[in-house]
Structure 1
Amino acid sequence: MTLWELGKAKTAAVDSIDTSLNQQIVARLCEMGIASGRLIQCVRRGPLGGPMVVQLGGSVFAMEQDLAARIRISPTD
């Protein structure tokens, strides 16, 4: 399952980030705290395929579909 498929107000554990992504993007995601085993929650989903808002620890981020679809997760609830 990908992060993009996570429903609103649902929590999941990050499994992996697509290794074919540009390494600068992968590094930035890691700086944001998106790493294997971390819990991430979908706070809100934009209309018509717009960005989703996720919470990771005390930080909140908006993420576009093309990037969220490349982050593998395991739902926890």
Structure 2
Amino acid sequence: MKKKGTYILIILLLPLIFFTVDFSLAKNNKPPIFAIKTAMYKDGGTKAYQGLGYKVVDYNQMDGRKDVVFISPFINWGEPE
């Protein structure tokens, strides 16, 4: 029974760890490591990533943005409302 509780704890903590690490990377303008790249745009190299309950956009426009934006229903940071 103790082994089952450990597995449940790991399953609940892993997404939280992924979320926290990718959020802190985005705050430092770095691409995520736990999210999967879903799109690459032809505006200079902007990339979109999808994580567990969040999205990260790594802007690299030729004449524009060059930042990383973290989009989540839990945290409103980087993207205008």
Per the normalisation by structure 2, the TM-score is: 0.31
Greater percentage in strand:
1
Structure with more relative contact order (C-alpha pairs < 8 Å, separation 6 or more)? 1
Say which one has the larger Rg: 2
